[in-house]
Structure 1
Amino acid sequence: MILLESIVTILYPRRCPICGEIVEPRGQLVCPPCKLKLKPIEEPRCKKCSKPIESEEREYCYDCETKNHHYSKGYAMWVYDSSMKKSIADFKFHGRREYSDFYIDEIIKHYGNEIKSIAPEVLVPIPIHKSKLMQRGYNQADILAKGIGKKLNITVLSHLLQRDKKTLPQKLLNDKERLKNLEKAFTYSAEESNKILKSIHSVMLIDDIYTTGSTIEACSNILLQNGIKEVYFLSICIGKGY
């Protein structure tokens, strides 16, 4: 097995999820210069969604101050800047599934203990429509959820939420259009819930990006409507707060 992995590494060397170059030294998940440049979100940050905010005197970003959210708390690893936009796009659209190894490794280092402390019973990836799944071949959020679940020994229910409505890309829409776009887009699968043979009280949603939060809100609302008491979210990246 070790020999096979060595051969695969030689034939298909790992590329840095930030700059895209071959990672040196071998065995690393990211090249050292990029690791130094990539800073995780730190304080001051919003106590609700984790967006970085400019003033240490504030507890919440403008969005969380002015809106009621269905979720209890959110976590995010990095700001969605130019470096991460390219990284996420390659992971999401260009088949670079191995980038998830780096994302997951960093998430566990920074949030592993906190996730254990809030103890979500299941991780649920944000679903994509079956047409996108057929086109892309995978759901990037599902890859993340399964990787995190394996590391933290948390059950993953990949199909607890289903995306029945084909929607426009959220990035093309304003806030009101995003909410309208997601109306009746998601459904809850009681059959999937029954797989764990007990009532589910707490869920952590997993996604790649949180910008306006419309998708997380829509999914959180569906979960609460179906008896879930606490909903959290975890994303690789998040927009800046104000």
Structure 2
Amino acid sequence: MKCGKPLDAAEAEYCRDCSRRQHAFVRGRALLSYRGPVKLSLYRMKYGNRREYARVYGQTMAHRLGPWICQCGIGLIIPVPLHPSRKRKRGYNQAEWIAKGISDVLHIPVDTHTLYRVRRTKPQKKLNDIERKQNLQGAFSVKCALPPNACILLVDDIYTTGSTVDEAARCLQAAGECKVYVAAVAIGG
């Protein structure tokens, strides 16, 4: 009901993570489960400079999640930013390309300038839940004011515990009255 993870029990409303903590975003959804061939594909997209994967994932997300995105009243798409040094090393921000793929289909503008990463952080995949939260504290900042009562779709490639999108959502909410929803290509268990 909150992040979009598959549930262990049919009668449960929230996954284990969402039942233990309060998220800063309103609701989240993902296209796929983070396992098997999806894991390999996302690895290639992220570290093998396969930008075309990101665009296709974004377009597929728009087709599959489009009704939900429209129902939420999304008026702006913001990709989770990379630190400039990591973006230089990788060559591109995969979340930005995914967001542009969504925009291609749904014609919702993508904003890559408002939210930015001010602190270089360790890769989240190597950290536990507490370390993830600490790693991201103060990692994001906002350059300019958001439109009043903005409904924002925050886009990332992989959602695991929600630490990254929670910190980014808190930062956006501190900059103005807004509702932040989350969409990811894949969600981990």
TM-score w.r.t. the length of structure 2 is: 0.95
CA–CA distance in structure 1, aligned partners of residues 57 and 101 of structure 2: 10
| Aligned partner letter, 1:206 | V
Structure 2 residue identity aligned to 1:138: Y
1:167 aligns with one of 116, 121, 132: 121
Secondary structure of 2:10's aligned partner: coil
The separation in 1 between residues aligned to 2:107 and 2:73, in whole angstroms, is 11
Amino acid corresponding to residue 159 of structure 2 in structure 1:
Y
Superposed CA offset, 1:181-211 (max 9, x none): 11111001116x4xxxx43521110000000
RMSD, aligned CA:
1.4
Does 2:35 align with 1:81? yes
Structure 1 match to 2:148? 199
Partner of 1:155, secondary structure, is coil
Question: Where does residue 40 of structure 1 map in the other structure?
Answer: none
Instruction: Kindly provide the amino acid, as one letter, of the partner of residue 92 in structure 1.
Output: K
The answer to whether the Cα contact below 8 Å between 1:203 and 1:228 also exists between their aligned partners in 2 is no
Alpha-carbon distance between aligned partners in 2 of 1:104 and 1:134, rounded to the nearest angstrom: 22
Q: Residue in 1 aligned with 2:161?
A: 212
How big is each residue's C-alpha offset from its partner over 1:106-137, in whole Å with a ceiling of 9 and x where there is no partner? 21221111111212111000000100111111
Alignment of 1:3-42 (within 5 A): none
1:129-167 CA distance string (max 9 Å, x none): 100111111100000111211211111111211111011
1:50 and 1:216 mapped to 2: Cα distance?
Answer: 13
What is the correspondence of 1:1-242 to structure 2 with a 5 Å cutoff? 47-190=1-144, 193=146, 198-240=147-189
CA distance in 1, matches of 2:52, 2:108: 21
Post-superposition Cα deviations, 1:70-128, rounded to whole Å, max 9, x if no partner, equal 10000101110021111001001111111124312321221111111212111000000
- Flag the 1:172–1:149 CA change in 2: closer, same or farther, 3 A: same
Secondary structure of 2:59's match?
Answer: helix
- Name structure 2 gaps, 5 residues minimum: none
Unaligned runs of 5+ in 1: 1-46
Structure 2 CA distance for aligned equivalents of residues 109 and 155 of structure 1 = 16
Question: What stretches of structure 1 move > 6 A for 4+ residues in a row?
Answer: none
* Structure with more relative contact order (C-alpha pairs < 8 Å, separation 6 or more): 2
Maintained 8 Å contact 2:54/2:98 = yes
TM-score (norm 1): 0.75
Amino acid at match of 2:161: T
Larger Rg over CA atoms: 1
